[in-house]
Structure 1
């Protein structure tokens, strides 16, 4: 028997011989947050002997201790809806009204459901080791109020959010985006009383590595301090408290028996055996879109579809660490890539993930088979009974709005050239651009090239975007023109995150590795007078421009130009000396940061400006 632990950030396994465990369970759920609370309750309700271990002092995670008591998309149906209704009923009779439910009411409901179903709970405890027989997990070790304890388990479900158990066991994991391993920004929540109810507010507070205790502690202190005011006045709401749990959107992601990736999703290469459907826009918090994967940037920037909702079918294999038995992962650490993790993380869906994992584990234990060998039809039948699986949740691609403010509109990708032409000749060309990209150059390339010479500026420019996505250099003259004029037109496809044509063009010039744009890109990033151009001027009340805090438009042009130069630098050896010099002049000092933001170091906007220098230093020899 091996005991595997994390020492100095690495999984280290040591032989411990035969182990006589003082306790034994069918299932141990580690982490009783969004997914773990549902996993524990679902397992106990199925009659399994279940233990839940949680480092905080309550269940529910971000939905309770994090004070995010509402939902942003996600699929409906499943065990969580019953529990939410119970919490809402308590809010009417016992607790103060607050969002979809009162967080204290939901804590109570979750704990009562778990205990009444027969589950055992251990709070204020942290896992310290995983017992392994080869690559089969057989038990865990933890430390809590009673000291160091251990227990055997037929199946362990890692619901820690950061794949702590899987990582400790030596499972393969990844963190952040490929370019710099940076994850999505986290959020800090302030809870306040106003208009006879409890409300909350949050904002992107920065990026952190929550695997590092010191860095996480600094992030908590600094982000919470940003909520404090010099003076508290009547009429603004009475601050009650700051949520003790940060809203960490992304951490470690496991490599699963099946890993869901954005490129495969866009190519319609998805599972035909889903256990539930994740549903949201590709909700990439933060503003540094220029440094994301090409697949994500093609969608978000090149096609201006960042706020379009997508439906992602999630299979059982995404909850099973590749090559391991007796171990599962549920919640935001399941097997997706960084780009798609921005969508597959909503609270509704992660609760469904916990329920699905526990149900699969129950069937595996009952049949005496590895989890990956559980019969799909039988498993999905049980999930259908609770509403966790519902084929009606497969909504495809949609234009949708939070809280159903407007009826959703299902998107059908265009195939008719006349319809594509009409879409490109509008102020909302995103669906037509992506439709052309999906069809491929052989189907639409000739028509797009013909439209480049049309008198209609919309059709001409947007055809260049489609050709740029398809890798056709015929788009270059039009793209260079949009860069040179700093085209300020903002497309109108989405309810948020609409892109400006000028930096959309810069993104595509970088994608095409265009040496002919280097001169203009140099002016943009090196000339201090660039900031005086009318496009970067605005008023404080604008949705996208608050110059006293963060010059959003200048940042987008500047960051996309830096990334375009880095791409040309990487693929055009003859230009490396020149581009290396340009990049060093552009970010080799902190003056560029002050042009982007007046916020102090440590804030999110300052950090993404500062990060450009770090990226350049790593990429430029």
Structure 2
């Protein structure tokens, strides 16, 4: 019995992976998308970060393509207005992010993948990779056990460089990593009726007694008011755990839920919060940092903040340097007016690799540059670029680094990408 064979295998269906798979499928490649969860979207759907950005810079759109197409369809389906990219807040970058309905986003992503002819394998994980006869022999783990397929091109969109690790390509790993976040909706109270000053003082006392940790609400004791005002959200910090593998992921998930239990027990004792309820925003911790590939090219913080236009730039990126550090706090550096960073093809190709690409938050970059590059809109753009390169490589029989750059640009432009 012959083994099932694909032109392109994309591993991970987050913001990067779903765009990579759609682009490869639309380009005519026989594409399979492997995802450990039962839903596309990654942090958008699984971690409550349902406000992707940033698609614009300095009053104009700089990231388009498949990711933007999906966000636009989600807004239109909900009857929500499209953003006016001429309105731009350079100081408060989060105001440029676009809130979307995560359920609609996932359903529309399913349809987009189906229309592109992508074979989607939910509840499936990568078990092993072996280069063989100029392609890849891949062992997948489904709910009923292990099975093997073949793929010409691999695109690692796991967020943790798991495929890169299995293929034994080089990667970097920070120690410690940026903290993760367990997001919830906090409901059942009227913020205007709360004595926030008294709650803050009680929280500081609870931290001193060891009942809660200051990072349970983000940046310290004073942020309990922000947690309540924002109805929970993306502010908790789970520190000191690298969630690159299943063991680390297990620890971070347990630690995230333990933090929410501590906060819940404390808040329910406070006046006005007797009916507090936590509603999950997704169900998984949102992870900011684990591994980064070592690529043919590496985006440095100087490259990023200077807006260097790489000769083979495959997309723009836009976000401030945004390094969360458990000891130092937030290292946030806004970009100079008019600066729009770029990402080169080489940052998507692991060094010394063969028929292999990577996209999303694991692209080759130093730590400070990656603190900005990891954001969802950029992940969508790098995912689409990787999908285009993989499809062209599979069709031509060339390695991803050998595909003519003009052909890559042409394919991306045909599918709505905005290129430097």
Q: TM-score range by the shorter chain?
A: 0.7 to 0.9
The 3 A distance-change label for structure 1 pair 156 and 194 is farther
Q: Which residue of 2 aligns with 1:90?
A: 77
Q: Which residue of 2 aligns with 1:79?
A: 66
Work out which of the two has the higher radius of gyration on C-alpha atoms and give 1 or 2.
Answer: 1
Aligned counterparts, 1:219-238, within 5 A: 219-228=252-261, 229-230=264-265, 231=268, 238=277
Unaligned 5+ segments in structure 1 are 1-19, 94-98, 293-299, 392-621
Q: Are residue 165 (structure 1) and residue 156 (structure 2) matched? A: no
Q: Hey, what's the Cα distance between the residues in 1 that align with 2:372 and 2:14?
A: 18
Q: Which residue of 2 aligns with 1:288?
A: 327
Q: Hey, what's the Cα distance between the residues in 2 that align with 1:256 and 1:21?
A: 34
Q: Hey, what's the Cα distance between the residues in 1 that align with 2:53 and 2:238?
A: 19
Task: Specify which structure has the bigger relative contact order, considering alpha-carbon pairs within 8 angstroms and separated by 6 or more residues.
Answer: 2
Q: Hey, what's the Cα distance between the residues in 1 that align with 2:397 and 2:359?
A: 21
1:123 CA displacement: 1.3
Q: For residues 522-554 of structure 1, what are the alpha-carbon distances to aligned partners after superposition, in whole Å with 9 as ceiling and x for unaligned? A: xxxxxxxxxxxxxxxxxxxxxxxxxxxxxxxxx
Contact 2:181/2:285, CA 8 A, preserved across alignment: yes
Q: Which residue of 1 aligns with 2:106?
A: 107
Q: Are residue 133 (structure 1) and residue 166 (structure 2) matched? A: no
Q: Hey, what's the Cα distance between the residues in 2 that align with 1:340 and 1:224?
A: 30
Contact 1:173/1:253, CA 8 A, preserved across alignment: yes
The 3 A distance-change label for structure 1 pair 266 and 280 is closer
Aligned counterparts, 1:334-349, within 5 A: 334-349=363-378
Aligned counterparts, 1:312-461, within 5 A: 312-391=341-420
What is the Cα-based RMSD across aligned positions, in Å?
A: 2.9
1:157 CA displacement: 0.5
Q: Which residue of 2 aligns with 1:618?
A: none
Q: Which residue of 1 aligns with 2:242?
A: 209
1:83 CA displacement: 1.1
Q: Are residue 190 (structure 1) and residue 184 (structure 2) matched? A: yes
Contact 1:68/1:200, CA 8 A, preserved across alignment: no
Aligned counterparts, 1:250-269, within 5 A: 250-263=289-302
Which of 161, 172, 175 is equivalent to 1:174? 172
Tell me which moved more, 372-381 or 329-338. 372-381
Q: Hey, what's the Cα distance between the residues in 2 that align with 1:347 and 1:151?
A: 30
Q: Which residue of 2 aligns with 1:218?
A: 251
Q: Which residue of 2 aligns with 1:517?
A: none
Count of paired positions: 349
Q: Are residue 64 (structure 1) and residue 64 (structure 2) matched? A: no
Q: For residues 104-140 of structure 1, what are the alpha-carbon distances to aligned partners after superposition, in whole Å with 9 as ceiling and x for unaligned? A: 1111111121123211111111111102138x65231
Contact 1:61/1:245, CA 8 A, preserved across alignment: no
Q: Which residue of 2 aligns with 1:585?
A: none
Specify which structure has the higher proportion of helix. Answer: 1
Scaled by the length of structure 2, the TM-score of the pair is 0.75
| Secondary structure of the corresponding residue to residue 373 of structure 2 | coil
| Secondary structure of the corresponding residue to residue 52 of structure 1 | strand
| Secondary structure of the corresponding residue to residue 181 of structure 2 | strand
Q: Hey, what's the Cα distance between the residues in 2 that align with 1:22 and 1:321?
A: 27
The 3 A distance-change label for structure 1 pair 325 and 313 is same
Q: Which residue of 2 aligns with 1:44?
A: 25
| Secondary structure of the corresponding residue to residue 343 of structure 1 | helix
